[in-house]
Structure 1
């Protein structure tokens, strides 16, 4: 009996050799460290904790970050997304925690009230994760792309602040800081340009090490804290005392976690894009369960709310090391750093400008992932332009003017205090308003696909003439040409669902006589034709070809396409037909056309029919409400 071939392991699940796991994992730790410790530093200074208490907070933070990252990346039961996502303390919680701590009197007394709220908020997040996961239909590419782009852009000022000496003591005029930052960035870029394989994947690590070494030689990297730190230190549960519970503090922290859930969802989608793994409802649910569990553990082990760290999403994209076990290794290193204060002090000695130079590369790549996701969005639908433009604009407004949050009421400051939070919520709300609530209307959506969607119950009541008039736009040609195909589909009434309706058009096309198919093919316009750009071939053709810019080609590109379509028509006797919305770019359209020139006439007849069917499928989705049966099923499940 022949052996069944073994299933190929996805790069995310591959376990790398121990040496590579160690190096890649430590690279993640170095890239992550500054962001990991900033929250306890800010909180301790704001509520009046001592230096000894701050050291314990940092160790507890690192220790719990390691546990949280292992839970998220390795996963168990229905907890953890099992993607290369590092966990860190969310910045969204900083201002609310400071407010909670000060309201409770500051110091360790305030800290205990914070921990009570953190524990309850973590449990609440764990419990609501399945319900939040069902909202995945509200995260199409226009939302996820906007959120990912906002995350990358909003993090760049953080990298810039590090590059000029750190947010606490910036010195933009210091030439050494500029040299360290740009030098580290230059090393990372040079390694990725000149080398392949292992060295290219550790470019960030090499840049950080070389930058720190140069800074140490010049006296700008200091490791005096290493000698002063203890060799071993363990964070014990409830080190500062038993948590105290305040209703107002708990409500505030639950709101923080709901907002953080949006950011986590964006990070999960971003990482899924990078590693090439489909993200579904259950993935979001598992990620949020891991956030909730890690946050609860954080409250017990003297740390704070946890979320997926966007900083390290950029590192995954930059290095293309996709294994989640690398993050598990990084989690192990963080646990070690939390137990060995001396080791943590070594990492803490990396100068801010060196970290900033590396962060510029990593955070920008997060923004690139957002742009990559948005490339799948139909921006000829003006609704999507409004969604992306408004969300990115508001996010950058708050990022560039962070003090604007003081102009709003206290309850709203949690939203206006973060460009990521405001931009993400704006994208979600606008997507719901434009695409899910009521009937699409107004100048923003005039002529947009789906603006006058036809519903199945209407279709089944149509006369033949109404049916042909409505669905004739799925195909090209005059009334007689369209009526032959569409009328044949009408004879298959009644339609049980939209999938049945779609299949009727496909059957009508492929079962048509050869002469009728040939006549239909000849009615399709040439790709890039001036008549299409001028609207003479119909709104559908204009929208199809505009999706990849065939209506606005430069003279050289236009001439190249004309030469291809003329050669094709001369050989086969009908125009080159390509579903350009599936091709995705002008270059792919040209490449596909060149390949098809070598086909036989019989093969091209079949290929043209398939392309006509694909074009009709696209137009069908624009025209018919609930045309996607999977989305429809999700909608019904959500309604239940």
Structure 2
């Protein structure tokens, strides 16, 4: 009997079959939530590399295609690849700093970035089996701390959205605050007065209402949509053959290590939310999908891929834990990559609309972490210190991104990631206080 068959027989929430309409609507919610992040990476890197608007638009469509395929593989699973849980994949922000630096290097350019992505993906495929063994260093104390940090690290994103977005002419203007408050209020009211199906799509309802109101207020910009083709297929190696340079390749390999640390925390968080245990074998399959997606992404004109933390909040918020929802979402991403005009409409959602939804969902991630911390002996002063210092260090790049400016540039993927900082500190302090202490064996198993 296969693992999936056993899980289905045991009634695993990840294998739940939903009515088609609910499946599509909840899947579309996932797309709306991660779309801004998926589009941001190719936008930033494309501008840094000096690409034209049409070339950047092609980068975005390429990213949507790879994200869609990777999401389907991660959720459904193909052989030894894919964690078979409700996971959304997309271009990783962890690599942005390194890629922008590469774009400014003489002789590197966009083809050098793709080459570094391919090499790093291959490196990730080689080390994924070994990285999966670190799951034993993530007992509930560490997992709960990391998950709480994920929610807290995402809060600034939601607040920036709610205030109108980073590029807003008048950040925090009343119309932005009104829109984000309207979306948040709609989500809260749906969850208070309605049940079942309606609560599962409460985020979609809130965002749809916000979009309609924003459009009526003249805040939805669809200029330039007419110039986009109706149908466009992403072709491999559109920008020519990739090139390989030592420094960019080494930098991107470091990024893959950071992505693996972040993804491990996210997969463990999802395991707690869905009630499915994340054993080393499952973790290996999930990390292998991250690495394989990055490897093929370089050939398909896009960048390193990883699981998206914000979508874990949606799983927690809606209570819909079926992996077939993210399979549907992956299908939507693939469709959007072929229909530039449709992708344009989704991209036109005002940041303030996303902000109202983000506050609720990212807060749910943090709440999930706090719930997990209830499983451990949080009265123990050493455990309190672990939580306090780990989250505190994770907040450093969130509160002051320039705090570690004096450190070497190669450390940026670590020092600029609040999630990675929290995970590293929590694992090290757990080693110091528990695993190497007199409670070693118990702490390793997650018992105190």
Query: TM-score band, normalised by the shorter chain?
Result: over 0.9
Q: CA deviation at 1:85?
A: 0.7
Q: Give the structure-1-normalised TM-score.
A: 0.67
Cα RMSD (Å)? 1.7
Cα distance in 1 for residues equivalent to 2:445 and 2:367: 27
Cα distance in 2 for residues equivalent to 1:170 and 1:49: 25
After superposition, residues 392-431 of structure 1 pair within 5 angstroms as 392-431=391-430
Cα distance in 2 for residues equivalent to 1:627 and 1:339: 52
Cα distance in 1 for residues equivalent to 2:374 and 2:110: 45
Cα distance in 2 for residues equivalent to 1:423 and 1:170: 34
Change (3 A) 1:225 1:18: farther
Q: How many pairs does the alignment contain?
A: 439
Counterpart in the other structure of 2:261: 262
Gaps of 5+ in 2: 1-7
Local SS of the residue matching 1:404: coil
After superposition, residues 314-325 of structure 1 pair within 5 angstroms as 314-325=313-324
Residue-by-residue CA offset, 1:429-486 (whole Å, 9 max, x unaligned) = 222232334xx3xxxxxxxxxx3xxxxxxxxxxxxxxxxxxxxxxxxxxxxxxxxxxx
Counterpart in the other structure of 1:145: 144
Residue-by-residue CA offset, 1:71-125 (whole Å, 9 max, x unaligned) = 11010111110110101111110001111221144xxx51111111111111111
Matched, 1:86 2:85: no
Larger Rg, first or second structure (1 or 2): 1
Q: Which has the higher relative contact order, 1 or 2, with Cα contacts under 8 A spaced 6 or more apart?
A: 2
Local SS of the residue matching 1:345: helix
Counterpart in the other structure of 2:45: 43
Q: Give the structure-2-normalised TM-score.
A: 0.94
* CA contact 1:22–1:329 (8 Å) conserved in 2: yes
Counterpart in the other structure of 1:202: 201
Counterpart in the other structure of 1:214: 213
* CA contact 1:13–1:325 (8 Å) conserved in 2: yes
Cα distance in 1 for residues equivalent to 2:167 and 2:94: 18
Cα distance in 2 for residues equivalent to 1:139 and 1:379: 16
2:33 to 26, 31, 34: 31
* CA contact 1:115–1:244 (8 Å) conserved in 2: yes
Q: CA deviation at 1:136?
A: 1.2
Gaps of 5+ in 1: 1-5, 441-450, 452-621, 633-640
Local SS of the residue matching 1:85: coil
Cα distance in 1 for residues equivalent to 2:103 and 2:396: 29
Residue-by-residue CA offset, 1:386-407 (whole Å, 9 max, x unaligned) = 2111110111122011122323
Matched, 1:57 2:56: no
Q: CA deviation at 1:15?
A: 2.5
Matched, 1:241 2:240: yes
* CA contact 2:31–2:329 (8 Å) conserved in 1: yes
Cα distance in 2 for residues equivalent to 1:369 and 1:306: 25
Local SS of the residue matching 1:88: strand
Matched, 1:115 2:93: no
Q: CA deviation at 1:170?
A: 6.0
Cα distance in 1 for residues equivalent to 2:248 and 2:369: 34
After superposition, residues 556-635 of structure 1 pair within 5 angstroms as 626=441
After superposition, residues 463-474 of structure 1 pair within 5 angstroms as none
Cα distance in 2 for residues equivalent to 1:627 and 1:303: 44
Q: CA deviation at 1:631?
A: 5.0
* CA contact 1:226–1:343 (8 Å) conserved in 2: no
